[in-house]
A and B are shown apart, each in its own frame.
Chain A
Amino acid sequence: MASLELGQVLADPSEIDQPYEADAPLKKHRFQFRWGRGTILVLAAAYFILPFYAGMEYSLQHPTGGFSLTPISQIASAPGFASALWLSTQLAVITMAVVMVLMVPTVIYVHLRLPRFRRVMEVITILPIIIPPIAYSVGVLESAPQWLRNSQYLLAVVYVILAMPYVYRSLDSGLGALDLKTLVEASRSLGSSWLMTIWRVLVPNLRAALMSASVLTLALVFGEFTIANVDNWQTVPVWIYLAPTDNPRINTLVAMIALLATALVLILIVSLDRSQSRNSRRS
């Protein structure tokens, strides 16, 4: 926090009082393996890595022995994959856009004007996790207008509900790290409208939270199987499960790549969260 200025005393007085010990041994940060933690870590890693390895080995194994990357090049030409990927991508974009437009102003409003309502919001937004997805599917299908019932984009409506818990928690945590009231009032006193305040002041400072919410929504849309399957729309997960291909290894390979992508995305979220915590501590 402190910056260097002329005349500033550089040394901490408490440090000046410390006698200089020329022969004092240097402190070394030695790596110490702790058996308890290490064992748990190795077991957990094995639990995730072994199935992944088995899947990759099955997908990339050449019939005549050894490994081949040919199945990767065959993914794009696999029947139905391109359309499934396109549908999942469209649904992901629509879901992210709708859920952000709905949730960002809502969570800001709750933080600013209805802080006591935060607990209620937490309960409401956890419901999509508790209620079975099939219930939403039937409910949304029954209540949707006719023009939407036969549309593949109906899935996006359901995904918006399913994404709500993750988006709410990301935004709630991001807003909690900001002095929201002061930032909003400062912006408004300078002549900014509510929309401009959200766009110019809050959204840039919620970048990590929004990124986290987006990638979680993306992972959700690309991983959801039940509802898409019941509604007979071939998204990527449905294609992996159902698509008839000459080479079933390709289906497995796509599933493995999806798993790897999700893992990378989660690592990205964790690093973004850490970066945001560091920034909020500094400011």
Chain B
Amino acid sequence: MVVTIDESQSTAPGVGTGVGAPVVFENLTRRFGATTALDRFSLAIAPGELVALLGPSGCGKTTALRVLAGFERPDIGRILVDGKDVSTVPAQRRNMGMVFQSYSLFPNMDARDNVAFGLQLRHQRSVQRRTRATELLDLVGLADHVTKYPHQLSGGQQQRVALARALAIEPRVLLLDEPLSALDAKVRAELRDQIRAIQQRLAITTVFVTHDQEEAMSMADRVCVMSRGHLEQVDTPAVLYSQPATPFVGQFVGVSSRVPVTRHGNQVEVLGRDVPIRGDLSAVPAGDLEALLRPEDLDVTPNPNGLGIVNHRSFLGALTRVGVGLGGSTVRVDVRSPQADDLVLGTRVDVSVTARDVLVTTPQPTS
């Protein structure tokens, strides 16, 4: 089966010059009984690029990674690494380093032996592999922990050893399966930056699975949002946030408020103003519609006769997110914190749209 991959989307700005291998997921389908985990999933990743697979639980992101790693076989479709079909190649022959969600260090080996394990399998001499393992542990900041066993290391340290172990075999592709999800917030942020720095330094093609959008947006060259086994949108974090291609992406990535709208041709009337509809007009459903609006797409001004009432405030630093009750629902608006002083709870306000265009979708069914 021949599929078309949008090559214009295959490379993010500033990447594509790495030494890692290009990876192509081509029309992959993987079913588990009646459940379709991957549904004609296609994605091209450039050499040296870090792509995050992002989506809710059960969207197929982990299955996609496991198919790439060789732990699952696709029912349909194929995986190309460096232009070669590896769909039937066993996991141990794919030369892909992987860091797992749960701590995966071998408990019977110390940190250095864990890192050197893959090199030993490649018949490297003892001195060489110990030197290389020590270098890699130094790279991840664990030079003082080489002789420690996994149970003597913290969670963050174990994941760094696991990263060093994955890098030791000089993999063609680095696979990260939610490696930070078991760590506390501070360690997670530190390790996130460290992984990204090492990945950029080594220019290794990396696929990173996460359900944490902040993690995906801050680390990845491109983010691939998945839902129900298929690709919703793949793009740079900035484009994904500012121009979500589908209502799912608009809702899943970042914060959005839903506001009922009335369609007039290629525009919708939203909060009293006509705004162009974003994207393919032919894909806009008929019937009742709602606009998805980011907090920065809205403005709020105090007005004793306004229709909105401030019902919530969250201080975010330079900005304050204000919740405004409007016709039975609440919209969230970001305002500069000094200006938010006037917007105490119960204040009547006017809400207006500042966006150039808006994404529209059908109303969410009420449960």
Which A residues lie at the B interface, using CB under 8 A? Answer: 1-3, 5, 178-179, 182-183, 185-193, 196, 200-201, 204-205, 279, 282-283
Contacts and interface: CB of A to CB of B under 8 A. Distances in A.
A201 B104 contact: no
A200 to B, nearest CB: 8
Contacts of B122: 191
B106 A196 contact: no
Nearest to B108: A204
Interface stretch (B26-34, B92-100, B277-285, B331-339): B92-100
Contacts of A186: 98, 100, 104-106, 162, 165
Interface in B201-236: none
B106 A187 contact: yes
Contacts of B243: none
A205 B108 CA distance: 6
Contact of B155 (A1, A201, A279): A1
Nearest to B117: A190
Interface of B: 69-71, 90-98, 100, 102-108, 117-118, 121-122, 145, 148, 150-155, 157, 162, 165-166, 169, 175
A193 B92 contact: yes
B107 A279 contact: yes
A103 B110 CA distance: 28
B107 A205 contact: yes
A3 B157 contact: yes
Contacts of B155: 1
5 contacts: A179-B103, A185-B91, A186-B165, A190-B118, A201-B108
A193 B106 CA distance: 16
Given A5-B154, A190-B166, 17 more contacts: A1-B154, A183-B104, A185-B91, A185-B100, A185-B104, A188-B70, A188-B92, A189-B166, A190-B92, A191-B118, A191-B121, A191-B122, A191-B169, A201-B108, A205-B107, A282-B151, A283-B103
Binding site secondary structure of chain A: helix
Contacts of B145: 3
Contacts of A283: 103, 107, 150-151
A190 B100 CA distance: 13
A1 B107 CA distance: 13
B106 A205 contact: yes
A279 B105 CA distance: 14
B104 A179 contact: yes
B107 A196 contact: no
A140 to B, nearest CB: 38
Nearest to B101: A182
A188 B154 contact: no
A178 B106 CA distance: 10
B71 A191 contact: no
Q: Which of B102, B105, B106, B157: most chain A CB closer than 10 A?
A: B106
Given A185-B91, A193-B92, A1 B151 contact: yes
Contacts of A279: 107, 151
A218 B58 CA distance: 48
A213 B251 CA distance: 55
Contacts of A205: 106-108
A239 B91 CA distance: 54
A205 B360 CA distance: 56
A283 B114 CA distance: 15
B52 to A, nearest CB: 19
Given A182-B104, A185-B98, A185-B100, A191 B150 contact: no
Contacts of A204: 106, 108
A157 B150 CA distance: 40
CB-based closest 8 A-B pairs: A190-B118, A204-B108, A283-B151, A282-B151, A186-B104, A189-B98, A182-B104, A191-B121
B107 A189 contact: no
B151 A191 contact: no
A3 B152 contact: yes
Nearest to A8: B154
A108 to B, nearest CB: 15
Scoring A179, A185, A186 by chain B CB atoms within 10 A of each residue's CB, the highest score goes to A186
A1 B183 CA distance: 13
A188, A190, A193 — most chain B CB neighbours (10 Å): A190
A196 B93 CA distance: 14
B121 A190 contact: yes
B153 A3 contact: yes
A190 B108 contact: no
A188 B175 CA distance: 13
